[in-house]
Structure 1
């Protein structure tokens, strides 16, 4: 398979997984699929990461995300 096809498939997989995270965070249901709001939230997060408290914010978000993944795995195993 050509290299560009492999890269395209990898990019497509990445986009699907990122969309899954937006769904997992329930952003789609909470805002009735209002994509402008979802994009605004993501832009706000990016701006936060450009700020002085970047490392602390990343730590907090990483912990929250890890807890959410762990809770989801527990729910799936029941």
Structure 2
């Protein structure tokens, strides 16, 4: 991945963290935000992977739809 593409990806991912409300809900505590992401990654390494992906995909799609309204 080229540097410019990676920079754009990182900015977009940071925007998703903010859009989810994690910045405000944690008081911008980056250790907590990283902990949440590490916990999600750990769940994706279990047998619950597909169920978690389905649940999170639906919630994410709903959040995007609500934002458009």
- TM (norm. structure 1) is 0.86
Q: Which has the higher contact order (CA 8 A, sep 6+)?
A: 2
Unmatched 5+ stretches in structure 2: none
**Equivalences for residues 1-78 of structure 1 within 5 A:** 7-74=2-69
How many angstroms does 1:34 deviate by? 0.2
Question: Where in structure 1 are there 5+ consecutive unaligned residues?
Answer: 1-5
TM normalised by structure 2 equals: 0.97
**Who wins on radius of gyration, i.e. which is larger?**
1
The CA deviation string for residues 4-30 of structure 1, in whole angstroms up to 9 with x for no partner, is xx8100000000000000000010011
Aligned residues: 69
Which portions of structure 1, spanning 4 or more consecutive aligned residues, are displaced by more than 6 angstroms? none
